Amino acid sequence: MTTEAETVRFNLVNPKTNNRIRMKTVDAGTGEEPSRGDLVRGFAVAEDEYVLLDAEDFECVKLESTRIVDIEKFVPRETIDHLYWDTPYHLVPSGKAGIEAFAVIREAMKRKGLVAIGRLVMSTRERVCAIEIEEDGLVLTTLRTAGGVRTLDEIGHPDLPKPNAQMLDIAEKIVAQQSDDFDPAEFTDRYEDAPRALIEEKKRGKPVKSKPAPAADESGVVDLMAALKKSLQGDGPERKRTERYAAATTANKKKPARRKAA
């Protein structure tokens, strides 16, 4: 369901020979290059002290990957905090034998409006997952465990000041002006686009010049009110409609409430 096929990847290359650089594995103490087949994994318990685990040790705890999802419970989707959602996958039945069961459990989940919580072994590792309705199919999303998520209580709640009324009014206008439906096609990875464009320029032999960095404000002080007002700059029907709406809303707030006749 997700892919990294479009991710720009680089190799280290020696520009004098145009050859790819290969990294060597060396012993940090002796500087010698050991055979990779002789290496084991180590868990650090103190400085320069490790618990060593070899391939046989890992075989003892290895889980075989399966295509079976063990469903443990059904829960309302809103009870799963968005911080726990990880990677989504399209879930389809395996062969004709699984189609009927797939259709039955999907329809039951749809009627009850619940999400299935289960476990699945992926790449020898057990993952907790959630299964939910998607159009004519199901989506399985791996979930982070409680130990892998930090709550705001752990980090510390920020001490927020009371918003300035004038700044809040401008901010509300900006939100109204920029309101729209979410379209994922509008949001591309600009970091990925920039190297691709650079690569194309280099392939065509064109000189590449770096862009000058924007001048930094030496004072280090940001005028938030000026920044908000600048965000409202521009023209067009959308902005005018937003301003009329904001003005009407403000006017309505100032009007005294009418009493209904008894």
For the chain, give the DSSP string. ----TT------EETTTTEEP-PPP--TTT-----GGG--EEEEEETTEEEEE-HHHHHHH-----S--EEEEEE-GGGS-GGGEEEEEEE--STGGGHHHHHHHHHHHHHHT-EEEEEEEETTEEEEEEEEEETTEEEEEEE--GGG---HHHH----PPPPPHHHHHHHHHHHHHT-----GGG---HHHHHHHHHHHHHHTT----PPPPPPP-TT----HHHHHHHHT---SHHHHHHHHHHHHHHHHHHSPPPPPP-
Domain extent, residue 74, equals 70-148
**How many structural domains comprise the chain?**
1
**Over the stretch 10-52, which tens digit does the pLDDT of each residue have?**
888 888 998 999 888 898 889 899 988 888 899 898 888 888 8
Lowest-confidence pick of 18-32, 119-133, 199-213: 199-213
Q: In this predicted model, what pLDDT tens digit does every residue of 102-114 receive, in sequence order?
A: 899 999 999 999 9
- 143 domain-assigned: yes
193 within domain boundaries: no
* Digit-coded pLDDT (tens) for 51-85: 888 888 777 766 665 667 889 999 999 999 999 99
224 within a domain of the structure (yes/no)? no
Question: Is 259 within the bounds of a domain?
Answer: no
Q: Which CATH number fits the domain that encloses residue 142?
A: 2.40.290.10
At 15 the pLDDT is 87
Q: Check residue 237 and give its pLDDT.
A: 47
Query: Does 140 fall in a domain?
Result: yes
Pick 93 or 220 by higher pLDDT. 93
- Is 83 a domain residue? yes
Read off the pLDDT of residues 141-194 as tens digits, 9 standing for 90 and up. Answer: 999 998 888 888 888 888 888 988 988 988 898 888 888 888 888 877 677 777
pLDDT at 261: 40
